[in-house]
Amino acid sequence: MLPPTKRHPRGRRVVAGVLLVVPIVVTLAVPLYGRASGALFGLPFFYWYQPAWVLLAGACTTIALRLLRPRVRALPRAARRAPRHDGPPRG
């Protein structure tokens, strides 16, 4: 395991890891969704539970990414402009 760094403190890495593992474990735990009860809007439990976790897994992944990605400061307007290239040098 890598030592904690200033960019990724141990607490953030643990939370990000849990956020990435939870959707996998929950969708693989068949006893949670292997039942006949729990219909929502007439849909059986499995048919709304799995797609709901697709959306929740995306949200968990996004949160984990934002926890681990370094923050980027806004650049001044002049620094955001691309350098101008007028073509080959004339000589």
Is residue 18 in some structural domain?
yes
- Of 58 and 44, the structure prediction assigns the larger pLDDT to 58
Structure-token pair, residue 36? 């006949």
* Helix 10-28 × helix 45-68 angle, to 10°: 170
Is residue 58 in some structural domain?
yes
Question: Given a cut of 90, is residue 46 above it in pLDDT?
Answer: no
Is residue 32 in some structural domain?
yes
- Cα three-residue angle 56-58-3, rounded to 5 degrees: 110
Structure-token pair, residue 67? 């926890």
pTM over 0.85: no
Domain of residue 20: give its range. Answer: 10-68
Is residue 56 in some structural domain?
yes
Average confidence (pLDDT) over 78-90: 64
Residues 6+ apart with CB under 8 A from 38: 44, 45, 49
Is residue 41 in some structural domain?
yes
